[in-house]
């Protein structure tokens, strides 16, 4: 299994940093859904609360918040995550990944929702 990349965005400063997670620490994220808040000490960021905002699998297929479960599904979409319409009113059938983190996910996007004063 490849290592998981955790992309941590800080909305206050507008910066993002990538943290590589080994398999043991990545397993702690399995089962979390988009919108879930967890403690940053799990991934080595003490004093932070992080919220899952998305991710993608090994083939680059994005996670979508309105698709439940960890699997891949083929949906007819007109806008949102996973599609960029070329014409007005266009709809396409595309693959998207569910909103739950599993072993197939290789990139997880999170944002900082709370910082302690000691983490500057």
CA distance 42 to 79: 34
Contact 61/96 with Cβ under 8 angstroms? yes
* pLDDT (tens place) for every residue of the chain, 120 residues total: 568 999 999 999 999 999 999 989 999 999 999 999 999 998 888 889 999 999 999 999 999 999 999 999 999 999 999 999 999 999 999 999 999 999 999 999 999 999 876 544
- Give domain limits for the chain: 4-115
CA distance 97 to 72: 4
Q: Could you tell me the two tokens for 32? A: 């979390």
CA distance 95 to 83: 10
């Amino acid at each position: 299994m490849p290592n998981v990349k955790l992309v941590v965005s800080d909305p206050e400063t507008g910066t993002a940093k990538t943290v590589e997670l080994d398999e043991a620490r990545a397993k702690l994220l399995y089962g979390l859904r988009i919108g879930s808040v967890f403690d940053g000490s799990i991934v080595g960021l003490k004093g932070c609360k992080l919220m899952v905002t998305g991710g993608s699998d090994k083939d680059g297929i994005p996670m979508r918040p309105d698709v439940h479960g960890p699997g891949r599904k083929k949906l007819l979409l007109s806008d949102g995550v996973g599609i960029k319409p070329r014409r007005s009113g266009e709809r396409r059938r595309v693959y998207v990944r569910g909103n739950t983190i599993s072993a197939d996910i290789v990139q997880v996007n999170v944002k900082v929702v709370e910082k302690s004063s000691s983490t500057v």
